[in-house]
Every structure is written in C-alpha cells, then in structure tokens.
Amino acid sequence: MSGVTVRVPAKVNIQLAVGGARPDGYHDLANVFLAVSLHDEVTVRPADRLTLTCEGPGAEQVPLDTTNLAARAALLLAERHGIAPDVHIHIAKRIPVAGGMAGGSADGAGALLACDALWGLKTPRDELLELCARLGSDVPFSLVGGAALGVGRGELLTPLEVGGTFHWVFAVADGGLSTPAVYGEFDRLTEGVRVPEPQASRALLDALREGDAPGLGAALVNDLQPAALALRPSLARTLDAGVAGGALAGLVSGSGPTTAFLTKSADAAAEVAHTLRTSGTCATTHIATSPAPGASQVSPSGD
C-alpha cells in the first residue's frame, strides 16, 4: 500500500461545563461535543523514519517534531505493536491552528487510524479509543465524531442523538490561545469561589435531539469563555458582530480564540459570515454544518 488518507472533523463544544481543578491539574468536565464539517486530512506513507509535513492556513505554527499529536499517535501505536514507526505523515490543514476546535486532536486521531490501516493492524475500536485518550482529552471524540457527552477530563464519551442539521459560522482570530493558559485563567477567575459539579444541561440535550436550532442557541454555554475573553478581550467585539449579523447565538469555541455562531439556515450562515468578514473583528470565517462523522479513511477507498 503506498499511502492512506484519513479525514477528521473539527468540533465545537456546545456546552463546556468546567469543575474545579483536580489534584492531577485537569478539570472534571461535562463537555457536549459536536463534530462539524470542517476537516483536516492526514496522509501516511512508508518512509525511512518518522517525518512530518503540514500545509494550509497556519501551517507554519504547527510543530513538525514529536510534540505533534500525529507523530505521537504513530509512536504510540508502533510501540503498542512492537514495530518501527517509520512513516511520513502529511497534514492538510483546514481546522484553525490552536483555535479551540480540536485541530491537533483531529490530527492525532487521523494519524492513529491511518497508521493502523497502513500497517494492517486492525486494532480493535476500544483499544484505539484508549490510545486516543492517552494522546489527549479531546482525541477520542475526534475519532468517533457525531455528538457526544464527554465526562472525566472529557475523554469518557456517551454518544448523543442529533435530530437535524445545524448551520454554523466560525470566526477565526489572528493567532492562537494556549489551552493550559485558558484553564489557568479559569482557575484564577474562580479562586475562592465554590465551582459546582459540571452537569450536562437538559434543555441543551433536548434541543440537540429535536434539531431545534433556536432552543440550542438559547442553551449554548462555555464556562471557559470568561477566561478566553480575559486573555483576548477583542473577542467580545467578534461575538457582538456575529449576533448583530443575525446569528441565533455566539460563543467561544472550547478554549478559543475561534468564535462559533449558530444560525437558523444555510442562507443565514452566509449572511452572518459576510457580516463577520466585513466587520474587521476576525481574520477569516468558515461555514460548516453539524453533525459530521468522525475520523474516516478516504483513500484507498476500499471500493
């Protein structure tokens, strides 16, 4: 086999309920993930040694060493099976880099699935999910896609029903935000405050199941948003611009700085994207729908 390509979706957290810091430094979450139709593609090919390249917007910010989750995925899978991780990994990037849409996690899940196919390992799904959880809290969701509630540090997933198509606009900011820095700011802002146990919102899960966009818009919530806004105050203007442009609601995606706007239709999404692009409050926009499938092999197709 000359190469394997896997397509992996971005995610938006439609609810991100964050508990207090745990002794291990992580935070317990009630994290409602929704996969969206904005993808990275990860291609692996046999090589003399493990190497990595990346193309696309923001590619220059992507590390090409073993700190990259795609490289770590290849190393982890090879180690598990006692084989050499000799592959070239190429990432075609569309998901904003360090944007709060799980782009790095997507590449980790994609490389894991692609190497598994290239090396003919047929690793069982539950073992792949366990390896994903070792790579990072958001990586298991990148593998499964759709919609899911993540508890623990976000890696323990229960699939959720989605009753329709939701239309989104994502406003990409200049530069990224560090996830640990945003959680650190959350800790600072909640110091001395009793942080409640994170719990999934019934209204949000109902709206998701019923395909009710206005209901979902009213229930969107991200406990990391105040921390992301404290570190990047200009995001407040982006949120205002998207809502003024007709979005049902807007919120910071995950740890940011990408902002996500739910709209009532594909036409409304086009209008909101236009308003955002001309507002001068973001670098670029993407229109996407949800739910989207998880990591899946696109070539060779096996047909």
- Residues with a catalytic annotation lie at 11, 138
Cis status, amide bond into 291, omega within 30 of 0: yes
Phi-psi region of 289 (alpha: psi -120 to 50; beta: other; left: phi over 0): beta
Q: Does 180 bind ligand C5P (CB under 6 A)?
A: yes
In the complex, least distance from residue 238 CB atom to ligand C5P, rounded to whole angstroms: 23
Contact 297, 114 (CB under 8 A): yes
Q: Does 137 bind ligand C5P (CB under 6 A)?
A: yes
Single residue of 119, 141, 166, 183 touching ligand C5P by CB under 6 A: 183
Q: Does 138 bind ligand C5P (CB under 6 A)?
A: yes
> Which CB, 118 or 224, lies closer to ligand C5P?
224
Q: Does 72 bind ligand C5P (CB under 6 A)?
A: no
Cis status, amide bond into 196, omega within 30 of 0: no
Tell me the site size for ligand C5P, rule CB under 6 A: 12
Place of tokens 């600072």: 188
Q: How many other CB atoms are there within 10 angstroms of residue 237's CB atom?
A: 13
Which among 116-124, 176-184, 202-210, 295-303 is the span making contact with ligand C5P, rule CB under 6 A?
A: 176-184
Q: Does 136 bind ligand C5P (CB under 6 A)?
A: yes
Q: Does 33 bind ligand C5P (CB under 6 A)?
A: no
Tokens of 50: 């493990």
> Which CB, 224 or 287, lies closer to ligand C5P?
224
Q: Does 253 bind ligand C5P (CB under 6 A)?
A: no
In the complex, least distance from residue 136 CB atom to ligand C5P, rounded to whole angstroms: 3
> Which CB, 114 or 135, lies closer to ligand C5P?
135
Contact 139, 218 (CB under 8 A): no
- Beta bridge mates, 29: 18
> Which CB, 4 or 71, lies closer to ligand C5P?
71
- Beta bridge mates, 51: 88
Expressed in angstroms, the distance from the first to the final Cα of the chain is 15
- Beta bridge mates, 213: none
Single-letter code of the amino acid located at 221: V
Q: Does 154 bind ligand C5P (CB under 6 A)?
A: yes
Which pairing describes strands 4-21 and 27-46: parallel, antiparallel, or unpaired? antiparallel
In the complex, least distance from residue 203 CB atom to ligand C5P, rounded to whole angstroms: 23
Single residue of 153, 167, 232, 286 touching ligand C5P by CB under 6 A: 153
> Which CB, 184 or 246, lies closer to ligand C5P?
184
Q: Does 27 bind ligand C5P (CB under 6 A)?
A: yes
Distances in whole angstroms, Cα of residue 99 to Cα of each of 155, 192, 233, 241: 19, 29, 15, 19
In the complex, least distance from residue 21 CB atom to ligand C5P, rounded to whole angstroms: 7
The secondary structure element, H or E, covering residue 219 is helix 213-219
Residues forming the site for ligand C5P (CB under 6 A): 25-27, 29, 136-138, 153-154, 179-180, 183
